[in-house]
Chain A
Amino acid sequence: MATSANDVEALISKGYKAGFITEVESDTAPPGLNEDVIRLISSKKNEPEWLLEWRLGAFRQWLKKEAPRWAHVRHQPIDYQAISYYSAPKSRKDGPKSLDEVDPKLLETYEKLGIPLREREILAGVAVDAVFDSVSVATTFREKLAEAGVIFCSFSEAVQNHPELVRKYLGSVVPVADNFYAALNSAVFSDGSFCYIPKGVRCPMELSTYFRINAAKTGQFERTLIVAEEGSYVSYLEGCTAPMRDENQLHAAVVELVAMKDARIKYSTVQNWYPGDEEGRGGIYNFVTKRGECRGENSQISWTQVETGSAITWKYPSCVLTGDNSTGEFYSVALTNNCQQADTGTKMIHIGRNTRSTIISKGISAGRGQNAYRGLVKVTKGADNARNYTQCDSLLIGPKCGAHTFPYIEVKNPTARVEHEATTSKVSEDQLFYCRSRGISREDALNMIVNGFCREVFKELPMEFAVEAQKLLGVSLEGAVG
């Protein structure tokens, strides 16, 4: 390569001196996206040549693409040249010195969710000098995982320590040119997680607590890759019920899952990014590409998501059912309150024979929230006896919100059976009054009704996560009833 990393840095710092933004740390690239920035990212991370080429390839594809317009969401155009694409991992020193300096509203929410004090500090980005308990917890976890042969590390570490695995699977489920945001992510992704479960291994723990602590550090362009070898099993929990402080408005993550023969991946997400204020100002845009491939026979991938945060959510966790007898599942609760917008759903692509998929989507709209379900069930020619069951329920709270359902069905095989059921209901005054006349407060009554509506999805979540998710819905709905 002609340009060395140093040249690039020199170039960039010149640009910076010329007055990009004030007060940029030396380890942050100035705003803007071009090939040099990508080279800088790659070199900072000490990446092998092939990965740099891969990023550049993605960038060139991205340049040819336009942001999708079909989603049922509205926002101002995003200026991709105004974003800074590289920032060295922040030291804790930059955060608030103590919880006293943290937004009281955030603290109030932590309180309501019952987040332990130490975790509140971490989530709020408080600079804590002492060695975290969490670090030692994470280390213990790692040792236990290593014993089982499971690799679970940051994406950057995986690139250094297991380059052959990363190279084999990266982009194999979500090709670089898959869509606008995926291409962008592929070009500039910062970090994320890598998880590899060897043949026949049942991951000895739910990959959760570790994540909860570390989630606070996830970047704007996160990359996750999970590979489950033949006969293995893993349950992976992403995200966090506590709202996180984050200055980045745009988030475009990519998650790829690969399940080999008889393998099973259970991927659960609770997403609670800042939704913006009551007028929708300042919230996170969450444009994510999540896809899993059931590559081997009898494999199974199941997505469970509870989405309550973000100003805009654009997200379609999908399953490509390549292996015969493989199964894809999607369980989703998406809540929009105030001015939040969500366009979310799933794609189930049936390729192998006797493949099965289940979609249970629960959309809740309150305030002026707009909630759209968009789902594709595609049965290709060779997918004999494919089966899909889709149930798509919407719950409206108040008169100003909206629910929309866009089911797309493409069937190319006559033996396929595809069922779709959809309902829309309202939380009625009668229901609320009935509960209140029994002594239950209006807010608790609403929670109860909403949680009842989501029951089929919550029961798919790991126990502790389900309890948190219920509380989270309650907090997210506050003020939704007069």
Chain B
Amino acid sequence: MTMLSIRNLHAAVEGKAILKGLSLEVMAGEVHAIMGPNGSGKSTLAHVLSGREGYEVTEGSIVFEGKDLLAMSPEERARDGVFLAFQYPVEIPGVNNVYMLKAALNAIRRHRGEPELDAVDFLRLIKEKAMLVQMDERFLSRAVNEGFSGGEKKRNEILQMAVLEPKLALLDETDSGLDIDALRVVANGVNQLRRSDRAIVMITHYQRLLEHIVPDFVHVLAGGRIVRSGGRDLAVTLEERGYDWLKEEAA
């Protein structure tokens, strides 16, 4: 079943057109990789999908599970199962990591008509999930991302994904800032979260991540559009030839 359908998406930031007719179809159970040079609009796409203000959609449509995603607020999208692992996770001083995540999960559960988890049940859950990304329990009780290293922040994002169990996970440069050991841990965590009813869209500049999380499809974003789609081998070609030949093709 089609989970996400992006048609002819045009989006601008501060009056500057970034996405210029992007189309993409994602089915449940699939893992897609979107690659592209820096500044090509990958994060813009992720932000538009999750509803960040300041991104103006000038044309096109996004349908998520039959609903008009663009008509929904960021929190509504999240509650319906859209999750973005940020390229640059945000620090929130004074707000406890577990506390925030519990509030998030319970907001989602309320939306689904499920009972809220109390502190005890939630703690049990999060400890179990923390093992998935080998996250030290000490980090759980710290303020959200405050003083976390780049790698710790990325692990925290995947931990959140594991707890919130989204239908559609967008991972924006989840590999950046990770050393090889951390990359393996995070990738392993993501792999365990692959499911037939969940889709994952990975955004990455390097194909390194794709060695660890093997995608079903690879797309190249350049000039604000998907200029080429293929399988796993497309990433290898990109690694060898770079992006320039595609940019020329796009232009």
Interface residues of A (CB under 8 A from B): 425, 428-431, 433-442, 444, 448-449, 451-455
Contacts and interface: CB of A to CB of B under 8 A. Distances in A.
B111 interface: yes
Interface stretch (B26-34, B78-86, B243-251): B78-86
B94 A439 contact: no
B52 A440 contact: no
Contacts of A434: 86, 89-90, 92, 144
B90 A453 contact: no
B78 A436 contact: yes
B164 A431 contact: no
Interface SS, A side: helix
A442 B52 CA distance: 12
Interface residues of B, number: 34
B2 interface: no
B100 A437 contact: no
A13 B150 CA distance: 77
A433 B52 contact: yes
A435 B78 CA distance: 10
A452 B78 contact: no
Contacts, number: 83
Interface in B32-60: 50-54
10 contacts: A429-B53, A431-B92, A434-B92, A436-B51, A438-B100, A438-B107, A440-B104, A441-B107, A452-B92, A452-B96
Given A429-B53, A444-B103, A452-B143, A439 B111 contact: yes
A455 B92 CA distance: 13
Given A441-B107, A448-B100, A452-B143, A436 B92 contact: no
A431 B86 CA distance: 12
B101 interface: yes
Contacts of A430: 90
A433 B107 contact: no
Contact of B50 (A429, A437, A440): A437
Contacts of A452: 92-96, 143
Most buried by B among A433, A448, A449: A433
Given A433-B53, A452-B143, A438 B104 contact: yes
A441 B84 CA distance: 16
Given A429-B53, A430-B90, A448-B100, A436 B75 contact: yes
A443 B181 CA distance: 39
Contacts of A453: 93-94
Contacts of A435: 92, 100, 104
Contacts of B54: 429
A444 B73 CA distance: 14
A452 B100 CA distance: 10
A426 to B, nearest CB: 12
Contacts of B95: 448-449, 451-452
A359 B223 CA distance: 55
B51 A437 contact: yes
A440 B84 contact: no
Interface in B203-231: none
Contacts of B143: 452
B92 A439 contact: no
B160 interface: yes
B103 A440 contact: yes
A362 B52 CA distance: 29
Nearest to B81: A439
B74 interface: yes
Contact of B108 (A429, A439, A442): A439
A431 B93 CA distance: 10
Given A444-B103, A444-B107, A439 B75 contact: yes
Contact of B75 (A442, A449, A455): A442
Nearest to A452: B94
A436 B144 CA distance: 14
B7 to A, nearest CB: 23
A470 to B, nearest CB: 12
Nearest to A450: B94
Nearest to A447: B103
Nearest to A435: B100
A439 B164 contact: yes
Interface string B93-132: 1111001110111011001000000000000000000000
Contacts of B51: 436-437
Nearest to A433: B52
Residue with the highest number of chain A CB atoms closer than 10 Å, among B52, B54, B86, B95: B95
Counting chain B CB atoms within 10 Å of each CB, which of A431, A439, A448, A453 scores highest? A439
A453 B93 CA distance: 7
- Most central of A433, A438, A451, A454 by chain B CB within 10 Å: A438
Contacts of A436: 51, 73-75, 78
A430 B89 CA distance: 9
B107 A449 contact: no
Nearest to B52: A433
B79 A439 contact: yes
A438 B83 CA distance: 7
Nearest to A428: B90
A435 B105 CA distance: 11
A184 to B, nearest CB: 39
A448 B96 CA distance: 9
A430 B87 CA distance: 12
B93 A440 contact: no
B46 to A, nearest CB: 10
Given A429-B53, A433-B52, A439 B93 contact: no
A439 B100 CA distance: 10
A436 B86 CA distance: 13
A238 B56 CA distance: 50
B73 A431 contact: no
Contacts of B108: 439
A425 B91 CA distance: 12
A163 to B, nearest CB: 48
Contacts of B53: 429, 433
Nearest to A482: B53
A14 B92 CA distance: 64
